Chains A and B, each alone.
Chain A
Amino acid sequence: MFASIMLIVMLALLATAAIAQAIDPLPFRDHAEELRFQHLTSELRCLVCQDEDLADSNADFARDLRHKVFELMQQGESDDQIKQYLVDRYSDFVLYDPPVNSRTWLLWFGPLLMLLAGGMVVVYTIRKRTRAGTPAAPTENGDDW
């Protein structure tokens, strides 16, 4: 049992070693480039963290990857090229915006299918209830709102 306490302490120490580097001033050419960088890093996953994006992560790994993204931007690569560069190395897992392909069609079109199915049920219900009879005339005393 004491071991588990020690483990917690060790984990805490490890976390300490790699913290507080998310704030990372980089020499951007102009504000537009900075905005582009902020947008891009917020759509990329810090692979060693628990569900954090690159922009907000304190991990060393995230900082290195942020700097790589910055470097690629300086070389004039487009957002898509930079994403492709990262996907080639770290798979689609790095993208918070999963690409539409055979594995993700359910993810992207599932809500649409649910909406269509639900919509048909709603239309069916309304039609049935419309035909069920003349809707009762609402009372006009103002309490039946």
Chain B
Amino acid sequence: MTPELGQLALILALLLAAAQCALPLVGAWRGNRALMAIARPAATGQAVFVALAFAILVSAFLRFDFSVQYVAANSNLDLPWYYRIAAVWGAHEGSMLLWVLILNVWTVALALFSRQLPEVFVARVLGVLGFISVGFLCFILFTSNPFGRLLPMPPDGADLNPVLQDPGMTFHPPVLYMGYVGFSVAFAFSIAALLGGSMEQSWVRWARPWTNAAWGFLSCGIVAGSWWAYAELGWGGWWFWDPVENASFMPWLVGVALIHAQAVTEKRGSLRAWTILLSLFAFSLSLLGTFLVRSGILTSVHAFASDPRRGTYILCFLAIVVGGALLLYALRAPKVAGGKAFALVSRESAILIGNLMFTVAAAMVMLGTLFPLLGDALNLGKISVGPPYFGLLFPLLMLPVVLLLPFGPYLRWGKSDAPVLKQVLVRVGVAAVACAIVAAFFVQGQLKAIAGVAGAVWVGVGVVLYVVKRWRDMAPGRRYPAEMAGMLLAHVGVAVFLIGVLLSESLSVTRDVRLAPGHVAVVGGYTFRFDGVTQATGPNWVAEQGVVTVTRNGAPVAVMHPQKRTYSHEQVQTTSAIDPGVTRDIYVALGEPMDANHVEGAWALRLYTKPFVRWIWGGGLFMMLGGFVSATDRRFRVKRETEATQTVTGVLQESKA
């Protein structure tokens, strides 16, 4: 298969996407069922051609087709096959193709699982998704063609950035994009609702599982990225408040708010306009993230692309999508607050306050990320906004959320009784204080660590109390519906995450040392003995590999092999060695020989002990699981199954006629 076929497939996909966008929307407007019926086949056809284009690019990488410029720039003969596949999304053009592919995966899933939704509504939803697809396919075809030829064909390609040659990188972009693009479904539902002028609660119920699943994927993608930064970059950090990290974090924060607002709207009918606005924001921030990363506007460790044409295109597309959506919102959003009334002490109020904190946090992250760009553009002088800014403001904004969290499940819709809440307050308060006092003895009075233990116990005990209460009160089988189980899992994730962040931040020890073979250094109670450097080889690299023996009180703990790799194209990359553990990680990175001519002599090493650092990703994975489990709730399907049979028979009759 030649690359030109890939190009052709993309052009055909663009035409089908245009059909999927325009015809069903017109059909829904004019009440023309034939036009509406085009939505599904057009979406399926588009997906087939996009998948074909993607497969052709993958096969070009696998066959070392260096006549394709993108392949030549991102792979070479020495690169193992699994990294050649990952190289498909290792740079700009391929990752845009991946974006569109994933958009098609969501669209086809929606087309398949929406048989029971009203025809007009589905036509509008698929039409909106088609519009987004048109935008991205045009972007690929006109500014970022991955199938461009390179003649004469070079004998070998350049190398994939060695930083990206890591298992985490094969996994991180697709999962992150599943999350980003997944919010397009909630976006499309909202636009369809605005277009149709129907603000019934039912469309929110249809949108909820999609939003929960997308948010679960986004959580997973962020965890994978954070893990990759920790394991691969060699600095032992897990979050740098880098603009590209922030770009994925903003939709996540708005996603949290959206998931909760959708619950209110679906169950009580309140906050309809706000739920719609949040779904517009969540997807707009996903697009903004793509823009920030892909336009080259940021000079950050992640942003590889730089081409003003691309930047201008995405900015215009962003303006059309966001501006258009907000305009539609301004014209059509429900003006009258509907839904049931609620008192001050109610679950609605608590969710509203949580929503406020999460949206302000997202806005704060956006302000901090864009402020240096604004200052630069307006000639106010260059300034840097980094971890000290975010690290101060973010915890302050999240404090009320953590404080409210144990009460969430106990609060009733509409109006809550104070005595129950007081009981919960006393129990979780006593537990948190008691554990904090015990912890104080173990952590030498480190306030941050004590706060971590107290916060985690506060949240965790709240969840456990509720689990016990349900177990006692309810009959078997009705205790934990999937929706609730997901909520409980995600909230436990918050407790686990708090332990991980605050304990590892406050108790980690880092030391840069110079060690000659046989010498030792003591860090955080562990003794590190350096046993010299040997040679190691991999598929496309050679490495100097240090041997570090770790002991504690004389007992062996681990033998670690940090490497300094030189890849086939002379790129150097340190690969740190990590000894994982539930309560602590030991982490060693190899620097330079102190004397470049004597590699058998002393070397510079960075040694870390990181207590509880794994709990950070553990917490994130619990949250992810919560999103997925909630999405499977039968309540989102049961009512539709009865309707489904009717629709199917209806369709059958039609096809017979």
A residues with CB within 8 A of B? 1-2, 4-5, 8-9, 12-13, 15-16, 19-26, 34, 38, 42-43, 45, 50-53, 55-56, 91-98, 103-104, 106-108, 110-111, 114-115, 118-119, 122, 125-126, 128-130, 132-138, 142-145
Q: Please tell me if B510 contacts chain A, counting CB pairs below 8 Å.
A: yes
Q: B389-440: which have CB < 8 Å to A?
A: 389, 393, 397, 409, 412-415
| CB-CB under 8 A for A12 and B389, given A50-B300, A130-B341 | no
CA distance A43 to B511 in the complex (A): 17
Task: Please give, as numbers and ranges, the residues of chain B lying within 8 Å of A138 by CB-CB distance.
Answer: 412-415
Closest beta carbon of chain B to A30's beta carbon, Å: 12
CA distance A42 to B510 in the complex (A): 12
| CB-CB under 8 A for A21 and B363, given A12-B570, A45-B384 | no
Q: Is B592 a contact partner of A21 (Cβ separation < 8 A)?
A: yes
Q: Is B393 a contact partner of A129 (Cβ separation < 8 A)?
A: no
Taken residue by residue from 467 to 482, chain B's Cβ proximity to chain A (1 for < 8 Å, 0 otherwise) reads as: 0001001100010010
Q: Is A16 a contact partner of B514 (Cβ separation < 8 A)?
A: no
Q: Is B384 a contact partner of A111 (Cβ separation < 8 A)?
A: no
CA distance A13 to B589 in the complex (A): 22
Residue B473 contacts which of A8, A43, A142 (CB distance < 8 angstroms)? A142
Q: Is A111 a contact partner of B375 (Cβ separation < 8 A)?
A: no
Q: Is B383 a contact partner of A98 (Cβ separation < 8 A)?
A: yes
Q: Is A136 a contact partner of B341 (Cβ separation < 8 A)?
A: yes
Residue A103 contacts which of B69, B298, B383 (CB distance < 8 angstroms)? B383
Q: Is B341 a contact partner of A1 (Cβ separation < 8 A)?
A: no
Q: Please tell me if B322 contacts chain A, counting CB pairs below 8 Å.
A: no
Q: Please tell me if B53 contacts chain A, counting CB pairs below 8 Å.
A: no
B residues with CB within 8 A of A? 69, 72-73, 148, 150-151, 154, 157-159, 233-235, 237, 240, 242-243, 270, 298-301, 303, 337, 340-344, 346, 348-349, 352-353, 356, 359-360, 363-364, 367-368, 371, 375, 380-389, 393, 397, 409, 412-415, 470, 473-474, 478, 481, 484, 510-514, 564, 569-572, 574, 589-592, 604-606
Q: Is A107 a contact partner of B381 (Cβ separation < 8 A)?
A: no
| CB-CB under 8 A for A2 and B154, given A16-B572, A23-B606, A138-B412 | yes
Complex A-B: 6 CB contacts under 8 Å: A16-B571, A114-B360, A118-B360, A122-B352, A126-B344, A129-B348
Residue B414 contacts which of A20, A53, A137 (CB distance < 8 angstroms)? A137
Q: Is B571 a contact partner of A5 (Cβ separation < 8 A)?
A: no
Q: Is A42 a contact partner of B387 (Cβ separation < 8 A)?
A: yes
Residue A22 contacts which of B343, B348, B383, B591 (CB distance < 8 angstroms)? B591
Q: Closest 8 CB pairs between A and B?
A: A96-B386, A23-B591, A97-B388, A135-B414, A132-B341, A111-B364, A135-B415, A93-B382
Tell me the nearest residue of chain B to A107, going by C-beta: B371
Task: Please give, as numbers and ranges, the residues of chain A lying within 8 Å of B381 by CB-CB distance.
Answer: 91-93, 103
